């Protein structure tokens, strides 16, 4: 395994880069069997979000699932309809996604 994915994207502001580097350092340590805790991961994800990174950006950079990131941020989780490849927000269970068999 190479470490190249552990370097954050180059177009970030300093605060965003520092927060993301902290999260990446923590996930690298966890993968290597090092010291980590759920509380530290949640705190690092929240710091990255507070620095202005979107949940999607955090998930991609840290190689985490979007629902994992959203749960750490106390945001609604996504769900998929049986015939729909798009994710709908779970706080709108009755609303079909655009382009789905029931949507327009």
Tens of pLDDT along 20-69? 999 999 888 887 888 778 899 999 999 999 999 999 889 888 888 888 89
Domain range spanning residue 69? Answer: 4-73
R_g (Cα) of the chain, nearest Å: 16
Residue 17 pLDDT > 70: yes
Check whether residue 16 and residue 31 sit in a common domain: yes
Based on the structure, what is the number of domains in the chain?
A: 2
22 and 68 belong to one structural domain: yes
How many whole angstroms separate alpha carbon 23 and alpha carbon 58?
A: 9
Ranges of H-type helices in the chain: 14-31, 38-50, 55-62, 66-72
* 69 and 81 belong to one structural domain: no
Closest among 102, 101, 38 to 72, alpha carbons compared: 38
∠ CA 45-80-89, nearest 5°, is 55
Whether residue 18 is found in the same domain as residue 33: yes
58 in the same domain as 8? yes
CB 83 within 8 A of CB 101: yes
Is-above-0.85 flag for pTM?
Answer: no
Q: Residue 89: what are its φ and ψ, rounded to 5°? A: -70, 135
Give yes or no: residues 62 and 82 share one domain: no
Q: Are residues 62 and 92 in the same domain?
A: no
In this structure, are 58 and 90 located in the same domain? no
32 and 58 belong to one structural domain: yes
Residues 12 and 41 both lie in one domain: yes
């Amino acid at each position: 395994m190479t470490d190249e994915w552990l370097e954050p994207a180059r177009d970030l502001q300093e605060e965003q880069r520092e927060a993301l580097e902290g999260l990446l350092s923590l996930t690298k340590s966890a993968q290597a069997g090092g010291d980590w805790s759920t509380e530290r991961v949640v705190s690092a994800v929240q710091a990255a979000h507070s620095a202005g990174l979107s949940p999607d950006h955090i998930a991609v950079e840290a190689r985490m699932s979007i629902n994992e990131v959203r749960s750490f941020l106390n945001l609604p989780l996504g769900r998929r309809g049986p015939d729909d490849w798009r994710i709908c927000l779970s706080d709108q269970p009755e609303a079909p996604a655009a382009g789905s068999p029931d949507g327009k």
